[in-house]
Amino acid sequence: MTERLPRGACDCHAHVFGPAARFPYAEPRSYTPDDAPLDAYLAHLDRLGCERGVLVQPSALLWAVATLRSAL
């Protein structure tokens, strides 16, 4: 993408994962994601020109919210 998003753009749904050794995934789960740390997500937002983002609890972690808390 060569153009930046409009000022005030917001990514309205994203997940952060891992590291799996620190934040284990739920059992059972329907998928096992690769690590997707907060710093990589923030860099992605910067590349796109997004000023804000909304992190959502992924089903692979069920009710274990430690990854989300750590990101916030």
Structure tokens at 30: 């329907």
Which residue ranges make up each domain of the chain?
10-71
What DSSP string describes 20-60? Answer: TTTSPPPSS-S--PPPB-HHHHHHHHHHHT-SEEEE---GG
pLDDT, tens digit (0-9, with 9 covering 90-100), for 23-44: 999 999 999 999 999 999 999 9
Q: What is the pTM of this model?
A: 0.81
What is the pLDDT confidence band of residue 72, given thresholds at 50, 70 and 90? confident
Please give the Cα distance from 70 to 60 (Å, whole number): 16
The pLDDT value given to residue 67: 86
